């Protein structure tokens, strides 16, 4: 009996830890997802303009537009410093200053040349901080405890200005000496691990990711993939993981559109149509929670269609050249090798889900306002 209770307690502890990690990641990245997508679209359009020779990389116009598109990714640690501090309960402005230390031009120049900097007799390992995510998130987590310690021990008369002073010195030093190399190592391991799986079987990786990504959205687990995708783009200039998610998003749209065609209740038809349009633009939650998941069979079809489409994406070798969740508006972020195959795969996900949902018999429609009135 005690063993069973201990096992149940361990499972609850693991679940709470996982929930905490997922909640933390989503709370950090959710506030900047839209601006990340906007920057990703701009980078994709600019890459397309260069490929079609509408503009040259030597032109001043390209330089200015590239600065507009790339500035967010270069200064990503500053945005993450702010959102991480807000999520963890630290001073966001102190966190932003620490991020500024990591991106300071003199330091980045030394790091770009792979030169080790001596700091208080200790060597700082060269790290590429622009576009990085892990080091500044760890720094914001440490900042919380340093600030609490300062508030606890410092007299009130000097607390307001000595707390940020001590925090900046301590957290910046620890980040440069420990978190930076640690974050780089962790990012490299994650990227190499994913590359190993993907290279073993691109179609197999696509099949699995495409099939499970929408159920992951239900529990918020998809946020755990965001740092990996951003890290892949930072290291390799592109990311296949985001591309593998594409057909599943379009499958949600296809299934919801099929429900719109078959539904009898006017309000539920309207809901299904608007949810389908939303999913086409990459926001799948309305289609999933409002239409396909309550009806169950369409959600199962979405997973199957997403898996088939994901396998196709893997076969075509499509990838994202900048961060953006898949959708019609963000297609420019997927320009590059395999883009045509990516379009075909997303269309396949949409059509498979649409046709399959039209062919199956659906259960009772979820209760809407008009259904309630009819029942009354």
Residue that wins the pLDDT comparison between 17 and 250: 250
Mean pLDDT across the chain, nearest whole number? 86
- The whole-number pLDDT of residue 8 equals 62
- Give mean pLDDT, residues 20-37: 75
pLDDT of residue 283 exceeding 90, the answer is no
29-43, 59-73, 121-135, 190-204: segment of lowest average pLDDT = 29-43
pLDDT of residue 47 exceeding 60, the answer is yes
What whole-number distance in Å separates Cα of residue 265 and Cα of residue 259? 11
- The answer to whether 252 touches 284, Cβ cutoff 8 Å, is yes
What whole-number distance in Å separates Cα of residue 242 and Cα of residue 23? 20
Could you tell me the pLDDT band of residue 367, with boundaries at 50, 70 and 90? Answer: low
Residue that wins the pLDDT comparison between 211 and 37: 211
Could you tell me the pLDDT band of residue 4, with boundaries at 50, 70 and 90? Answer: low
- The whole-number pLDDT of residue 127 equals 84
Distance in Å from the first CA to the final CA of the chain:
50
Other Cβ atoms closer than 10 A to 237: 11
pLDDT of residue 132 exceeding 60, the answer is yes
186-190, 267-271, 302-306, 348-352: segment of lowest average pLDDT = 186-190
What whole-number distance in Å separates Cα of residue 246 and Cα of residue 346? 6
pLDDT of residue 327 exceeding 60, the answer is yes
Q: Which 3-state string (H, E, C) describes the chain?
A: CHHHHHHHHHHHHHHHHHHHHHHHHHHHHHHHHHHHHHHHHHHHHHHHHHHCCCCCCCCHHHHHHHHHHHHHHHCHHHHHHHHHHHHHCCCHHHHHHHHHHHCCHHHHHHHHCCCCEEECCEEECCCCCCCCCHHHHHHHHHHHHHHHHHHHHCCHHHHHHHHHHHHHHHHHHHHHHHHHHHHHHHHHHHHHHHHHHHHHCHHHHHHHHHHHHHHHHHHCHHHHHHHHHHHHHHHHCCEHHHHHHHHHHHHHHHHHHHHHHHCCCHHHHHHHHHHHHHHHCCCCHHHHHHHHHHHCHHHHHHHHHHHHHHHHHHHHCCCECCCCCCCHHHHHHHCCCCHHHHHHHHHHHHHHHHHHHHHCCCCCCCCCHHHHHHHC
- The whole-number pLDDT of residue 165 equals 94
pLDDT of residue 114 exceeding 50, the answer is yes
- The whole-number pLDDT of residue 225 equals 82
pLDDT of residue 350 exceeding 50, the answer is yes
pLDDT of residue 5 exceeding 80, the answer is no
Residue that wins the pLDDT comparison between 184 and 366: 184
Percent above pLDDT 70 for the chain: 91
Percent above pLDDT 90 for the chain: 40
pLDDT of residue 115 exceeding 90, the answer is no
Q: What is the pTM of this model?
A: 0.71
- The whole-number pLDDT of residue 374 equals 42
* Boundaries of every domain in the chain: 2-197, 201-365
pLDDT of residue 376 exceeding 50, the answer is no
- The whole-number pLDDT of residue 148 equals 94
- The whole-number pLDDT of residue 335 equals 86
- The whole-number pLDDT of residue 9 equals 64
pLDDT of residue 309 exceeding 50, the answer is yes
Most confidently predicted of 182-186, 216-220, 291-295 = 291-295
- The whole-number pLDDT of residue 7 equals 60
Residue that wins the pLDDT comparison between 247 and 120: 247
- Give mean pLDDT, residues 139-165: 92
pLDDT one-digit tens code per residue, 62-91: 899 889 888 888 888 999 999 999 999 999
């Amino acid at each position: 009996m005690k063993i069973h209770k201990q096992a149940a307690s361990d499972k609850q502890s693991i679940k709470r830890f996982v929930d905490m990690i997922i909640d933390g990641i989503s709370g950090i990245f959710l506030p900047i997802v839209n601006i990340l997508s906007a920057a990703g679209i701009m980078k994709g359009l600019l890459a397309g303009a260069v490929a079609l020779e509408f503009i040259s990389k030597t032109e001043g116009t390209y330089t200015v537009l590239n600065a507009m598109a790339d500035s967010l990714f270069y200064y990503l640690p500053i945005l993450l410093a702010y959102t991480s501090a807000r999520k963890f309960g630290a001073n966001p402005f102190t966190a932003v200053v620490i991020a500024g230390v990591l991106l300071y031009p003199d330091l980045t120049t030394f790091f770009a040349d792979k030169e080790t900097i001596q700091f208080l007799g200790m060597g700082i390992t060269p790290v590429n901080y622009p576009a990085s995510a892990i080091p500044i998130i760890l720094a914001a987590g440490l900042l919380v405890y340093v600030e609490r310690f300062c508030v606890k021990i410092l007299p009130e008369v000097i607390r307001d200005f000595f707390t940020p002073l001590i925090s900046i010195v301590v957290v910046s030093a620890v980040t440069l000496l420990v978190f930076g190399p640690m974050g780089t190592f962790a990012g490299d391991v994650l990227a190499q691990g994913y590359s190993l799986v993907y290279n073993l079987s691109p179609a197999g990786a696509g099949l699995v990711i495409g099939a499970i990504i929408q159920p992951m959205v239900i529990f918020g687990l998809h946020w755990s993939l965001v740092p990996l995708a951003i890290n892949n783009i930072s290291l390799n200039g592109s990311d296949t993981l985001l591309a593998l998610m594409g057909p599943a998003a379009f499958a949600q749209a296809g299934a919801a559109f099929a429900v719109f065609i078959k539904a009898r209740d006017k309000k539920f038809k309207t809901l299904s149509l608007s949810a389908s349009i939303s999913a086409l633009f990459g926001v799948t939650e309305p289609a999933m929670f409002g239409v396909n998941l309550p009806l169950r069979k369409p959600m199962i079809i979405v997973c199957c269609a997403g898996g088939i489409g994901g396998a196709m994406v893997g076969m075509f070798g499509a990838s994202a050249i900048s961060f953006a969740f898949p959708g019609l508006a963000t297609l420019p972020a997927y320009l590059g090798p395999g883009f045509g195959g990516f379009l075909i795969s997303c269309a396949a996900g949409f059509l498979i889900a649409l046709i399959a949902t039209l062919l199956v018999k659906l259960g009772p429609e979820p209760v809407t306002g008009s259904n309630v009135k009819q029942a009354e």
